[in-house]
Amino acid sequence: MRFFEKSKRKEFEKLAKPYMKPLYQAALRMTRQREWAEDLVQDTLIRAYERMELFRAGTNFRAWLFTILTNNYLNDCERGRRRPLTTSFDVMGADGSIWEFPASEENDPVAVLMTHVLEEQLQNALDALADEFRLAVLLVDMEEMSYQEAADALNVPIGTIRSRVSRGRFQIRQYLGKQSEIEMR
């Protein structure tokens, strides 16, 4: 990209800085661990800088960054370095006991937000999804990526993404339904 040859770093910083916050929020949603999220964002921005030549001008820079973020996250999981705080929805216990909100540091603003009474269950339902459904739902419903962009980020056909998103939403609804049944008892 000729545009970046003048001062590649400065141009990149100007372009990337506004995405710092959405990237961080997305990383938190993926990992639910602050330290891991910070590492993810840092790796993502550095990798993006190193690969700036691969970014095609005129395409969505935000989606490109999110694709790198998603890949970094999946790489971390694959290498077994870290584990997201999720379990497959299918193995959910009837009493919901294994869905305890993951312990966070006290006075953590993230934790405070996420433990918001009404949203907590939704958050738990989201976290209960298997990673393949969870990532599809996160990218489409929360990171505002198009189905095509999400398909590119996860390197699967667009039809797969559509089905994962709809199944993920169903499972969330199902989980919330069961929770309310438990509460009503």
50 binds other proteins, rule: CB under 8 A: yes
Q: Tell which residue, 125, 156, 117, has the closest CA to residue 141.
A: 125
| Residue 147 in contact with other proteins, rule: CB under 8 A | yes
> For residue 50, what are its two tokens?
């190193």
> Quick one: which segment of 12-20, 54-62, 66-74, 99-107 binds other proteins (CB under 8 A)?
12-20
Encoded tokens for 70: 């998603």
Least separation, in Å, of the C-beta of 151 and other proteins? 11
The yes or no reply on residue 9 touching other proteins (CB under 8 A) is yes
Residue 81 within binding range of other proteins, rule CB under 8 A: no
Please name which of 135, 133, 128 lies closest in space to residue 176, comparing C-alpha atoms: 128
- What does the block give as tokens for 141? 């419903």
Cα angle, residue 69 at apex, residues 167 and 115 outer, rounded to 5° = 60
Return the structure tokens found at 159: 């039809």
Find the shortest distance in angstroms from Cβ 40 to other proteins: 11
Report in angstroms the alpha-carbon separations of 162 from 64, 169, 178: 20, 11, 24
Give, as one character, the DSSP assignment of residue 156: S
If the CB atoms of residues 43 and 78 are measured against other proteins, the closer one turns out to be 43
Q: Which is nearer to other proteins, 67 or 126 (CB)?
A: 126
Listed ranges 21-29, 55-63, 76-84, 87-95: which one lies at the site for other proteins (CB under 8 A): 21-29
Place of tokens 């870290």: 82
User: Least separation, in Å, of the C-beta of 62 and other proteins?
Assistant: 15
Closest CA to 128 of 137, 116, 140, 139: 137
Dist CA 85 CA 75 (whole Å): 16
Beta carbon of residue 100, minimum distance to other proteins (angstroms, whole number) = 19
51 binding other proteins? (CB under 8 A):
no
Residues that bind other proteins (CB under 8 A): 8-9, 12-13, 17, 20-21, 24-25, 28-29, 38, 41-42, 45-46, 49-50, 109-110, 113-114, 116, 119, 122-123, 126, 137, 140-142, 146-148, 161-163, 165-166, 169-170, 172-173
